Chains A and B, each alone.
Chain A
């Protein structure tokens, strides 16, 4: 077999192409020493399945070294190990050197783990996933003669619960002065119609959860009380009467300040500095600003437009606000170049809620000479 033969095998293993008459059932796939194919069945959500393929490189017509393995499915993990008769193992390190070759008494094992707990508690219909083992000709040190030994994995995931509408709770942006609230419903699936849930808890003090019975389902309510700015992640656990199963839902949120510029506090004005910028050219030069504090009016005022060296840039930069439809707490802050600068400038537009008293929202300003 030539080096390309395994590539052909790859196509063949993935195909059974000669099915000229689609109505006919596909021919049974031949199992042989070169076939890497395994059906994990339908995995109950939360459980792990492992399978090991013994790889006999001597079946190959030429001397190949194992390098690494790849599987497509996102909840799987695979690795290659040389294992002795006594069970001692070492991982294949991908170097393609003498260390990649099996020693006396060592046999090569491809281990594949499907970890259904990495998935949300949602059913996954039986699916086929691909992968391959990368091999390199032992005589080739250039990496140009590598081949892929194909692998097929089949599995499905069966979650005993139905979560609607969310199997994970993402509060998104939570301003400091507000609370985030989310709700989802839980019930046993068709195979577990009498599944009962008892208590819900979260491993983060900023997330409060409550479980209450509804009509034919349970309602899980989660409240986010923001504290530290930035991104956060937590886990909500829901007990139930299914032995060995604990329902988990991920929770994510980002605490943002009440005065916020999105997507980032930066405004770039690109224009030839020799002339005033036409109004139409400034249509895309905006940043969204918001005051999330409901106790205040949503409007901002421009406090100053200033360069890094403290220079007043307001004669050169016009600024104005426009409301955002259906977003009463947001405005678009536009900037337009009025002329008069000799070179590109950096500085900031400082917005204020109450004159010199603040609070302030600084927005980085870059005036870029677009020649």
Chain B
């Protein structure tokens, strides 16, 4: 169906960061009311959400969370959202906010690369012009080496309300308080489950009872103090937490790794507005918070963070872009790719042999893989070409582990890809990327048959790299015929 362009033009183009979804946090049922007796809404009619205009003295927050190591989108596909440079550009443009909040889970894993990302993110969030007011602690943050984490974030406003950490100098505080035009706002952060690696008796971290931690965070606050709770867990855990917090907070910001797409609409839970940050820092949530006779209220605006297809690097704050480019070069200069290589066991315990080792017995399959234009065959070359294109990257893509991991065989695994100079036969997405290391199979093909790594469904293997951001147009059914090779004719059992 088609909406008249003339009618929508004034509404639709408020720079690139539109999609302003207002919704009120009341009884949860108010959305539209076209009027009684009106026939079913024709599909061409856009619903009219009830717009709640926040009072002028409301507290304005910019919220994000679960960056998961995405300092910026990888750039594999156009249309990827997020990145610190775009985020800070938007924050810099918005001069009327009161609080900048980052939920936490800044990194995804606990490698040397993650520490370097943490350091860069910390520099951007806390050392540049627009300094964040509070940073929560997520489960993934806790997997980083605690001494380094504490050292990097020692002077950051790190808030971890229900965490007890044995590490000396652990910088987490039970709350962060800021005065906003005479109103005190306290920010607290709850972690609702420890990562399994930290649940043992030897763990340096333990969780305090939520109710007790909440009371401790409220200590000394007056009735006018606003409380913003950042909660790390899944949405079920977060909804269960809210009734435990009495007196109730003014806002709960959920940091749920499974909640890809947030909405600006605050959902009331036990009378408390609940919003989610989304993941990978793809969007910025702009919220206004106030109280009225019915309790705490929040309305929001979702700010997606798209990049430009024609501006080199996609755009964003130039200083942040410089910081990220510097990070990329430091990763190269520090040989991080090679440092991270060959640390993990292979999936089947065998050794990688490279696709050339498969060719002799599997010439048909090899031919399908190596045919002209094969993206898997040319995956390493794709990185090299991208690296040389200043309009796309302008930094050493072939030395950055996040990029390399999807363009080689056996990244981080013993006998896997180390560098192009060391292991050219493992550059590109070769046979063993899907079938696993082949040394045992080569030695005794009948005895040691290879299927797919982990015996998973083919499509599940593909989406390890072809995920919703890196390959938004990836459809297994379309792509499978391209790489499908089948068995060699002489290997098919009659």
| Interface, chain A (partner B; CB < 8 A) | 11, 14-17, 19-20, 22, 26, 44, 46-52, 68-75, 77, 79, 81, 83, 85-91, 93-96, 99, 111, 115, 117-118, 120, 122, 127-130, 141-143, 152, 163, 165-170, 172-173, 230-235, 244-246, 248, 250, 252, 254, 256, 262-264, 266, 284, 288, 364, 368
B239–A122 CB distance below 8 A: no
| Minimum Cβ distance to chain B for residue A260 (Å) | 9
A167–B79 CB distance below 8 A: no
Question: Which of B123-131, B357-365, B445-453 makes up part of the contact surface?
Answer: B123-131
CA distance A89 to B38 in the complex (A): 12
Indicate if B311 sits at the interface (CB-CB under 8 A).
Answer: yes
CA distance A95 to B235 in the complex (A): 8
CA distance A220 to B35 in the complex (A): 48
A14–B308 CB distance below 8 A: no
Name the B residues within 8 Å of A72 (CB-CB): 468-469, 472
CA distance A69 to B137 in the complex (A): 27
A74–B6 CB distance below 8 A: no
- Selected from B37, B41, B459, the residue in CB contact (under 8 A) with A14 is B459
Chain B residue nearest in CB terms to A68? B261
B473–A129 CB distance below 8 A: yes
Name the B residues within 8 Å of A48 (CB-CB): 3, 8, 12
CA distance A245 to B43 in the complex (A): 24
Indicate if B390 sits at the interface (CB-CB under 8 A).
Answer: no
A22-B481, A264-B323 known; A170-B15 Cβ under 8 A: no
Within 1-46 of B, Cβ neighbours of A (below 8 Å) are at 1-3, 5-6, 8-9, 12-13, 15-16, 18-19, 21, 23, 28-41, 43-44, 46
B31–A90 CB distance below 8 A: yes
CA distance A48 to B21 in the complex (A): 16
CA distance A16 to B484 in the complex (A): 13
Number of interchain pairs (Cβ within 8 Å): 224
Name the A residues within 8 Å of B259 (CB-CB): 68
B265–A91 CB distance below 8 A: yes
- Selected from B19, B36, B129, B468, the residue in CB contact (under 8 A) with A130 is B468
B93–A231 CB distance below 8 A: yes
B309–A232 CB distance below 8 A: no
Name the B residues within 8 Å of A46 (CB-CB): 5, 9, 12-13
CA distance A140 to B21 in the complex (A): 30
Name the B residues within 8 Å of A51 (CB-CB): 1, 43
| Interface, chain B (partner A; CB < 8 A) | 1-3, 5-6, 8-9, 12-13, 15-16, 18-19, 21, 23, 28-41, 43-44, 46-47, 79-81, 88-93, 95, 123, 127-129, 151, 234-236, 239, 259-261, 263, 265, 267, 269, 304, 306, 308-311, 315, 317-320, 322-323, 326, 330, 333, 457, 459, 468-469, 472-473, 475-478, 480-482, 484, 486
- Selected from A17, A47, A70, the residue in CB contact (under 8 A) with B480 is A17
A284–B3 CB distance below 8 A: no
User: Which 3 A-B pairs have CB atoms at the shortest separation, nearest pair first?
Assistant: A15-B477, A231-B92, A263-B323
B31–A235 CB distance below 8 A: no
- Selected from A17, A118, A163, A232, the residue in CB contact (under 8 A) with B16 is A118
| Minimum Cβ distance to chain B for residue A16 (Å) | 4
- Selected from A14, A94, A118, A254, the residue in CB contact (under 8 A) with B89 is A254
Chain A residue nearest in CB terms to B482? A22
Name the B residues within 8 Å of A22 (CB-CB): 481-482, 484
Name the A residues within 8 Å of B128 (CB-CB): 264
Show 26 residue pairs from A and B whose CB-CB distance is below 8 angstroms, ordered by the A residue.
A11-B457, A22-B481, A22-B482, A51-B1, A81-B47, A88-B34, A89-B31, A90-B30, A90-B32, A115-B18, A120-B308, A120-B310, A128-B475, A143-B235, A166-B308, A166-B310, A173-B319, A231-B89, A233-B89, A244-B5, A244-B6, A250-B16, A256-B319, A262-B322, A264-B128, A284-B330
A16–B477 CB distance below 8 A: yes
CA distance A52 to B151 in the complex (A): 52
A48-B12, A86-B38, A263-B322 known; A14-B19 Cβ under 8 A: no
Name the A residues within 8 Å of B88 (CB-CB): 231
A49–B319 CB distance below 8 A: no
B476–A17 CB distance below 8 A: yes
- Selected from B5, B19, B481, the residue in CB contact (under 8 A) with A19 is B481
Chain A residue nearest in CB terms to B234? A143
CA distance A86 to B473 in the complex (A): 38
Chain A residue nearest in CB terms to B6? A244
A14–B477 CB distance below 8 A: yes
| Minimum Cβ distance to chain A for residue B186 (Å) | 26
Name the A residues within 8 Å of B3 (CB-CB): 47-50
A74–B310 CB distance below 8 A: no
Residue of A85, A87, A288 with most chain B CB atoms under a 10 A cut-off: A87
CA distance A169 to B80 in the complex (A): 19
A50–B480 CB distance below 8 A: no
| Minimum Cβ distance to chain B for residue A90 (Å) | 5
CA distance A34 to B333 in the complex (A): 52
CA distance A120 to B486 in the complex (A): 42
Name the A residues within 8 Å of B6 (CB-CB): 244
CA distance A93 to B315 in the complex (A): 34
